[in-house]
Amino acid sequence: MPSTSSINDGKLAPGSTLILVGTTKGAFVLASDASRKAWTLTGPHFPGESVYALAYDERNGRQRTLAATRSFHWGSTVRLSDDFGKSWTGPERQTVRFPEASGLSLVQIWQILPGPADDPDLMWAGVEPACLFESRDAGESWTPVDGLLNHEHRQKWQPGGGGLCLHTIVPHPHDKQRMLIAMSTGGVYRTEDGGKSWRPRNHGVRAEFLPDKYPEFGQCVHKVASHPAKPERLFLQNHWGLYRSDDWGDTWHDVANGVPSDFGFCMQMHPHDPDTVYIVPMQSDQFRCAPDAKLRVYRTRDAGASWEPLTNGLPQERAYETVVRDALTADSHESAGVYFGTRNGKIFGSRDGGDNWTEIADSLPPVCCVKAAVVGGNH
Amino acid sequence: MAISIVLPRALHQYARGSNVVSLDEPCPTVADALASLGARLPAVTDRLLTEQGELRPHVNVFVGTESVRFLDGLETELADGSTLTIVPAVSGG
């Protein structure tokens, strides 16, 4: 246990709160004690490079931050820090690479997810062009999952506005053979055999932009969320559409009950309550800003039966803010912290599950992703 | 045959701090020169070429003062004593 707690020294005491922010021009790290009243910010890390995925991993005695960086010129890679960003490994070789025989080349890494606690060196990455990569050494090296790399639908997956990205990875918490992923476009796919085969699971999810509104696959799913306490139940923010599944993705049902728009990108579970989910609706696909220029987080506490706007402390006038798919997150404190970043470079946080909000940072570059963790919290 | 490859500052860290790499082996084309460079400094060519062996979109390679994009690309022929200069394109973050 460190005797001091300073992110500038690369040390944080147990119970400290960590927010990782990825932007189009680098990453920032914010740290606070458990009270989350004052924050220290470091960065930009990797100035000039975009950072669309960040993760924090405490398994196996590590305190490791992972950052997916993309240089305009030199490509994308995963960098590691074991001191909260004070220093980073810049791997000599670029570690996320498609096999030459695939005909594919990595564009960007969109997601990094630590695996289960009992497999403490396992990690996954979702990338563009859409594929899942796996690491067996805690992010040092990566290999593609063949069942998706060679999927028969690959030629029919089409890039959305952000590119053809695999952005969501949902492993089943109790069955290592089962996993669900989502891509834009392509939709939701699920494996029951540890990644060897993948079947589309989009029944009931609308594809507004296709002549066939309910195809087997091809939907532009923006984010899927689930809670480990109820792993078979899933929530989905679609490119138009807000859905819930109660059967691990076999069927999806509309739950856009009382939201100003069912277009949006991000979606976040409450850390302790499987009935509570957060979203930030956008006006429309043609105007991807907060509806009516009022920045509102919407929360359901009844698994989508109803949604309530959370506005206390958020700007309600001329707030032309955009929150993208990985820019909403939560910590695991008993009183849950919820955080999000905007394309205008603002970070907002709530220490009480969304009831009240404060601006934590401003004037950052456009925010691509926000991740939070409690040091020593095994998250 | 001697070929010189001039690296931009951002890549010096992957070339043991060097800004110029000299190749003495036969390199009839730019692709051959980059293959020789990769055999010696793979971390450099990771950053120049995609997994498919194509020049990354925002990386320019000049033979003398001519960009290979306006010559024969990676198949551009090299003469003894040629200098290749790697230059990041004007794009940036």
- For the residues B72-83, what does the mean pLDDT come to? 96
Calculate the alpha carbon distances from A162 to A107, A114, A223, A324 in Å: 11, 24, 13, 10
Residue B46 lies in a domain: yes
From A315, A305, A375, select the one nearest A340 (Cα to Cα): A315
Residue B38 lies in a domain: yes
Which pLDDT does position B90 carry in this prediction? 86
Residue ranges of chain A whose pLDDT lies below 50: 1-3, 379
Chain A residue whose CA is closest to B47: A74
Residue the block writes with tokens 């922010």: A21
A90 has a chain B CB within 8 A of its CB: yes
Q: Do B53 and A92 make contact, defined as CB atoms within 8 angstroms?
A: no
Q: Do B92 and A48 make contact, defined as CB atoms within 8 angstroms?
A: yes
Q: Do B56 and A75 make contact, defined as CB atoms within 8 angstroms?
A: yes
- Residue B47 has its nearest CB partner, among A47, A49, A74, at A74
Which pLDDT does position A379 carry in this prediction? 45
Which pLDDT does position A160 carry in this prediction? 85
pLDDT grade for B1, boundaries at 50, 70 and 90: low
Which pLDDT does position A1 carry in this prediction? 42
Report chain A's mean pLDDT, rounded to a whole number: 96
Which pLDDT does position A199 carry in this prediction? 98
Structure confidence by residue, pLDDT tens digits, A273-290: 999 999 999 999 999 999
Question: Is this structure's pTM higher than 0.80?
Answer: yes
- Residue B56 has its nearest CB partner, among A24, A48, A73, at A73
Q: Do B51 and A106 make contact, defined as CB atoms within 8 angstroms?
A: yes
Residue B93 lies in a domain: no
Structure tokens at A140: 């040092």
A98 neighbourhood in chain B, CB within 8 Å: 51
- Residue A92 has its nearest CB partner, among B43, B88, B91, at B43
Structure confidence by residue, pLDDT tens digits, A23-45: 999 999 999 999 999 999 999 99
Q: How many domains does chain B have?
A: 1
From A286, A229, A232, A291, select the one nearest A260 (Cα to Cα): A291
Q: Do B43 and A93 make contact, defined as CB atoms within 8 angstroms?
A: yes
Calculate the alpha carbon distances from A114 to A139, A170, B60 in Å: 9, 11, 37
B12 has a chain A CB within 8 A of its CB: no
Chain B residue whose CA is closest to A46: B93
**Which B positions 24-53 lie with beta carbon below 8 A of chain A?**
42-43, 46-48, 50-53
Residue B78 lies in a domain: yes
A26 neighbourhood in chain B, CB within 8 Å: 93
B48 neighbourhood in chain A, CB within 8 Å: 74
The interface predicted TM-score (ipTM) is 0.93
Residue B9 lies in a domain: yes
Residue B13 lies in a domain: yes
With b for 16 or more beta-carbon neighbours within 10 A and e for fewer, the A257-270 pattern comes to: eebbbbbbbbbbbb
Q: In whole angstroms, give the CA distance from residue A226 to residue A128.
A: 23
For residue B27, the distance in angstroms to the closest alpha carbon of chain A comes to 23
Chain B residue whose CA is closest to A97: B51
From A267, A377, A340, select the one nearest A17 (Cα to Cα): A377
Instruction: Kindly list the structural domains of chain A, giving each domain's residue range(s) and its CATH number in brackets, ordered by start.
Output: 7-374 (2.130.10.10)
Which pLDDT does position B22 carry in this prediction? 96
What's the domain range around B13? 3-88
The type of residue at A376 is G
**DSSP state letter for A59:** G
A87 has a chain B CB within 8 A of its CB: no
Q: What is the CATH number of the domain that holds B81?
A: 3.10.20.30
For residue A364, the distance in angstroms to the closest alpha carbon of chain B comes to 14
3-state SS class at A43: strand
Which pLDDT does position A162 carry in this prediction? 86
Residue B63 lies in a domain: yes
